[in-house]
Structure 1
Amino acid sequence: MQVSVETTSNIERRMTIGVPAQEIDKAVEKRLQETARTVRMNGFRPGKVPYKVVKRRFGDSVRQEVVGEVMRDSYVKALEESDVSPAGWPRFEPKTMEEGKDLEFVAIFEVLPEIELGDLSKIEVEKMVAEVTDKDIDKMIDNLRRQQATMKEVKRKSKNKDTVTIDFKGYIDGEAFEGGEAQDHRLELGSGQMIPGFEKGIVGAKAGEDIEVEVTFPEDYHNEDLKGKPAKFEISVKKVEEAQLPELNEEFFQRFGIEADSEEAFREEVKKNMERELKQAMSAKVKNDVVDGLLETTEVEVPQALIDQEIDRLRNDAVQRFGGQMDPQQLPKEIFQDQASRRVKTGLLFQEIVKANDLKADDEKVDEKIREIASTYEQPEEVVTHFNSNPEQKAQIESVVLEDAVVDFVLDQAKVKENKAKYDDVIQAAQQQRG
Structure 2
Amino acid sequence: MQVTETKAEGLTREIEIVVPASDLEARLQTRLFEAKDKVQLKGFRPGKVPVSHLRKMYGKSMMAEIVNQILNETPGSVIADRKERAAMRPEIGMTEDEGEAEKVLNGETDFKFTLSYETLPDFEVKDSSGIKIERPIVEVSDEEVAEQVERIAENARTYEDKDGAAEKGDKVIVDFVGKIDGEAFEGGSAEDSELVIGSGRFIPGFEEQLIGVEKGSDKTVEVTFPENYGAEHLAGKAATFDVKVKTVQAPTETAIDDEMAKKLGLESLEKLNEVVRDQIQSQYGMATRQKVKRQLLDALDKQYDFELPGKLVEAEFDNIWNQVQRELTENGKTFEDEDTTEEKAREEYRRLAERRVRLGLVLSEIGEKAGVQVGEEELQRALFEQMRRYPGQEQEILKMFQENPEAIQSIRAPLYEEKVVDHLLTEADVTDKTVTKEELMAEDEAETASGETASA
TM-score higher than 0.5 here? yes
Structure 2: 5+ residue stretches without partners? 125-132, 321-351, 373-412
Please point out which of 270, 279, 304 is paired with 2:276.
270
What is the CA deviation profile of residues 375-405 of structure 1, one whole-angstrom value per residue up to 9, with x for unaligned ones?
xxxxxxxxxxxxxxxxxxxx99995364257
Contact 2:19 2:110 in 1 (8 A): yes
2:185 maps to 1:177: yes
Aligned to 2:205: 197
In the superposition, relative to structure 1, how do residues 107 and 137 fare at CA in structure 2: closer, same or farther (>3 Å)? same
Task: Indicate how the Cα distance of structure 1 residues 285 and 215 shifts in structure 2: closer, same or farther if over 3 A, else same.
Answer: farther
Contact kept, 8 Å, 1:353 with 1:406, in 2: the verdict is no
Decide which of 149, 165, 184 is 1:141's aligned counterpart. 149
Structure 1 residues 183, 11: CA separation in 2 closer, same or farther (over 3 Å shift)? farther
TM-score using structure 2 length: 0.60
Matches within 5 A, 1:310-389: 346=356, 348-349=358-359, 351-352=361-362
- Counterpart position of 1:314: none
Alignment of 1:64-83 (within 5 A): 64-83=64-83
| Structure 2 residue aligned with 1:206 | 214
Corresponding residue SS for 2:187: strand
Q: 1:403 aligns with which of 418, 421, 444?
A: 421
Asked if the contact 2:21/2:108 (under 8 Å) is kept, the reply is yes
Matching residue of 2:21: 21
Within the alignment, does 1:40 sit opposite 2:40 as a pair? yes
Instruction: Give the equivalent residue in structure 2 for 1:303.
Output: 312
Counterparts in 2 of 1:349 and 1:408: CA distance versus 1, 3 Å: farther
**Aligned partner letter, 1:303:** L
**1:268–1:71 CA distance, 2 compared to 1 (3 A):** closer
Displacement of 1:268: 4.5
Given that residues 300 and 345 in structure 1 are in contact (C-alpha distance below 8 angstroms), is that contact kept between their aligned partners in structure 2?
no
Q: Does 1:280 find its partner at 2:291?
A: no
Pick closer, same or farther for the CA change 1:136–1:224 going to 2, 3 Å: same
1:8–1:175 distance in 2 versus 1, CA, 3 Å: farther
In the alignment, structure 1 residue 101 sits paired with structure 2 residue 109: yes
The CA RMSD over aligned residues, in Å, is 4.9
- Local SS of the residue matching 1:303: helix
Question: 2-side partners of 1:76 and 1:359: how far apart?
Answer: 22
Deviation at 1:226, TM superposition (A): 1.5
Q: How far apart in 2 are the matches of 1:11 and 1:191?
A: 61
- Taking the TM superposition and a 5 Å limit, the aligned residue runs for 1:193-272 are 193-244=201-252, 247-250=255-258, 252-254=260-262, 258-260=266-268, 263=269, 266-272=272-278
Q: CA deviation at 1:127?
A: 9.3
- Aligned-pair identity in percent equals 28
Check conservation: 2:7, 2:14, Cα contact below 8 A: yes
Distance 1:242 1:22, change over 3 A: farther
Where 1:140 maps in the other structure, the secondary structure is helix
Shift of 1:61: 0.6
Q: Could you say which residue in structure 1 is the equivalent of 2:166?
A: 158
Does structure 2 retain, via aligned residues, the 8 Å contact 1:10–1:114?
A: no
* Alpha-carbon offset, residue 185 of structure 1: 1.5
- The Cα of 1:70 is off from its aligned counterpart by 2.0
Structure 1 stretch displaced more, 249-258 or 32-41: 249-258
User: Which of 292-301 and 233-242 deviates more?
Assistant: 292-301
Residues 361 and 402, structure 1, Cα contact 8 Å, conserved in 2 = no
Shift of residue 292, structure 1, vs aligned partner = 9.4
**Alpha-carbon spacing, 1:144–1:244, altered in 2? closer, same or farther (3 Å):** same
Q: Report the alpha carbon displacement of residue 285 of structure 1 after superposing the two structures with TM.
A: 5.4
SS at match of 2:49: coil
TM-score, normalising length: structure 1 = 0.63
Given that 2:90 and 2:117 are in contact with CA atoms closer than 8 Å, whether structure 1 keeps it comes out as yes
Letter in 2 for 1:349: L
Q: Give me the whole-angstrom Cα distance separating, in 1, the residues matched to 2:249 and 2:439.
A: 30
How far is 1:255 from its partner?
A: 5.8
